[in-house]
Amino acid sequence: MDKAQIIEKINAFLEEDFEIEAGKLVPEANFKKDLGIDSLDIVDVVVMVDKAFGVKIKAEDLRTVTTLQAFYDFIDAKLNA
């Protein structure tokens, strides 16, 4: 799966499940400040990653991921490891 497909899947999930406007889904968007994704929402993100990409991660793995770009890169690295 290439980076564009990863970004497309992640953005679609954030738009549908978190009701975030597409215009807010820019690489530099901060999960908490810009997108309103808090520590409780991260559990849903972990489930989404498992369903969409078949990658098992833990919520703790996402502690250092603060921006959407960092999240795209994190998933890309997991898929291509």
Average pLDDT over residues 6-19: 95
**CA dist list (Å): 7 to 47, 50, 53:** 17, 15, 12
Proportion of the chain above pLDDT 90, given as a percent: 78
State the CATH number of the domain containing residue 46: 1.10.1200.10
The predicted structure's pLDDT at residue 74? 95
**Does the pLDDT value for residue 59 go beyond 90?**
no
pTM to 2 decimals? 0.91
Instruction: State pLDDT tens for residues 19-57.
Output: 999 999 999 999 999 999 988 898 899 999 999 999 999
Q: Determine the structural domain holding residue 71 and report its residue range.
A: 3-79
Our count of domains for the chain comes to 1
